[in-house]
């Protein structure tokens, strides 16, 4: 393949001086943006590409971020302003990659072939398609929405599923498509517990009279200030926490949904009528990552995410020289974790390129 490509290159005219663009960052989510900004400040030329027509990834469509309820948009704006020197190509995908000497020849969907010394994969994650958990009735019942739908409503406020009804009780189902072997995702998504607590508080602020219920298997509130958030949800907002996973949702005659779960701490099945049910769809590996991984000959881990060289000291390194990872392409992560990893990946790339 590489030979063929080189031939084509030669035949297309006199060979230009190879112009090493240095580093390609795949994915302009928060990890990609942060890594690009760090690489720029280290003096590299950075090209940042994203499949989407906008930068910022999942965070761009989020409303507020835990634990300080920072505006998601301000984080993205900040990051974007720091990558002013990089080439940002949106709505762009990689068509093919070939190793060329110590670097890579990358054909982009725009038609151009560019050369990079290193590639950073910051491809992010997919949100679990909640309709796959059929028993929750997402897409069947209008009362059932996802965490992402709710953030969008917080942003835009025009979801008829929320606007068209009186919201008197709201349920949050944790672990939808996470920690679920049946759904093909045994991993914990890490962020849903705290997101549910955050969204529960926000819902309570919008609908102070509504009763809010969180149905959880285990509450995993591990991060800085998460526990404070939880205490506030209990104390200041009166949010109810039920330790039990929702197993069935059906429609009541009066336009509400009936949710069944077991109150495991009490050892009794419970059912409750809710006007809105929010499914905390989890973080899963991107379903389109496999072709790219094959093209780059990097491996996939058993959980469907990209395989790191090792999970303690080399999480940002792939098994191929010159290819690095940052953010949720290797597994569920919080925003601060993704950002920290992006910086670490930038240093890794810097060291790698210096050593060439």
Q: Which residues would be at the binding site for other proteins (CB under 8 A)?
A: 132, 134-135, 137, 139-141, 175, 179-184, 217-218, 243-251, 258, 260-264, 267, 269-270, 287
Parallel, antiparallel, or unpaired for β 64-65 and 46-49? unpaired
Query: Measured between alpha carbons, how far is 86 from 45 in angstroms, rounded to an integer?
Result: 7
- Please provide the DSSP assignment of 261-319 as one string: EEETTTTEEEEEEESEEEEEE-EEE-TTHHHHHHHTTPPBPTTSSBPPSBTTTBTTB-S
The CB-of-330 to other proteins minimum distance in angstroms stands at 21
CB of 131 to other proteins, least distance (A): 9
Residue 102 or 263 having the CB closest to other proteins:
263
| Shortest distance, position 302 Cβ to other proteins, whole Å | 13
Q: Which long-range contacts (CB under 8 A, 24 or more apart) does 242-245 make?
A: 242/213, 242/214, 242/215, 242/216, 242/270, 243/216, 243/217, 244/215, 244/216, 244/217, 244/270, 245/173, 245/174, 245/175, 245/215, 245/216, 245/217
Q: How far is the CB of 260 from other proteins (least distance, A)?
A: 5
- Residue among 232 and 247 whose Cβ is closer to other proteins: 247
Q: Which C-beta is closer to other proteins: that of 262 or that of 303?
A: 262
Residue closer to other proteins (CB basis): 267 or 355: 267
Residue 219: its H or E element: none
Q: What residues contact residue 351 under an 8 Å CB cut-off, 6+ apart?
A: none
In a 13 Å sphere around the CA of 177, the CA atoms on its Cβ side amount to: 22
Task: Specify the residue, 206 or 273, whose C-beta has the smaller distance to other proteins.
Answer: 273
Which is nearer to other proteins, 236 or 248 (by Cβ)? 248
Q: Is 346 helix (H, G, I), strand (E, B) or coil?
A: helix
**In the complex, minimum distance from the CB of residue 68 to other proteins, in angstroms, rounded to a whole number:** 31
- Cβ 149 to other proteins shortest distance, Å: 18
Q: How far is the CB of 207 from other proteins (least distance, A)?
A: 25
Q: What is the DSSP string of 53-102?
A: SSSSHHHHT--EETTTTEEHHHHHHHHHHTTTTSEEE-S--EEEEEEETT
- Identity of the residue, 179 or 333, whose beta carbon is nearer to other proteins in the bound complex: 179
- Bridge partners, 138 (sequence order): 141
**Residue number with CB closer to other proteins (287 or 351):** 287
CA 66 to chain centre: 15
CB of 55 to other proteins, least distance (A): 27
For residue 218, the 8-state DSSP code is: S
């Amino acid at each position: 393949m590489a030979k063929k490509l080189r031939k084509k290159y030669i035949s297309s005219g006199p060979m230009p001086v190879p112009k090493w663009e240095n580093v390609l960052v795949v994915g302009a989510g928060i990890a990609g943006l942060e890594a690009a900004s760090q690489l720029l400040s280290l003096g590299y030329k950075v090209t940042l590409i994203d499949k989407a027509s906008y930068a910022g990834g999942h965070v761009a469509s989020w409303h507020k971020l835990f634990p300080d309820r920072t505006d998601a948009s301000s984080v993205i704006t900040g990051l974007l302003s720091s990558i002013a020197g990089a080439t940002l190509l949106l709505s762009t995908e990689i068509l093919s990659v070939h190793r060329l000497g110590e670097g890579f020849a990358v054909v982009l969907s725009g038609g151009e072939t560019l050369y990079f010394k290193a590639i950073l994969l910051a491809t992010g994650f997919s949100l679990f398609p909640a309709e796959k958990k059929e028993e929750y009735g997402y897409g069947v019942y209008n009362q059932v929405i996802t965490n992402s739908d709710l953030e969008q409503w917080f942003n835009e406020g025009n979801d008829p599923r929320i606007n068209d009804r009186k919201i008197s009780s709201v349920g949050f189902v944790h672990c939808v498509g996470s920690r679920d072997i049946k759904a093909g995702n045994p991993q914990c998504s890490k962020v849903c517990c705290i997101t549910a607590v955050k969204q529960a508080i926000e819902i309570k602020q919008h609908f102070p009279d509504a009763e809010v219920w969180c149905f959880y298997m285990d509450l995993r509130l591990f991060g800085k200030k998460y526990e404070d958030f939880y205490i506030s949800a209990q104390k200041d907002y009166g949010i109810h926490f039920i330790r039990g996973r929702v197993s069935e949702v059906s429609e009541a005659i009066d336009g509400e949904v009936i949710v069944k779960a077991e109150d495991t701490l009490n050892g009794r099945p419970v059912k409750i009528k809710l006007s809105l049910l929010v499914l905390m769809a989890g973080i899963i590996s991107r379903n389109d990552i496999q072709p790219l991984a094959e093209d780059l000959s990097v491996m996939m881990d058993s959980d469907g995410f990209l395989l790191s060289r090792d999970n303690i000291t080399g999480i940002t390194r792939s098994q191929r020289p010159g290819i690095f990872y940052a953010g949720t392409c290797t597994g569920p992560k919080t925003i601060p974790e993704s950002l920290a990893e992006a910086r670490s990946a930038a240093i890794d790339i810097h060291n790698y390129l210096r050593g060439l």
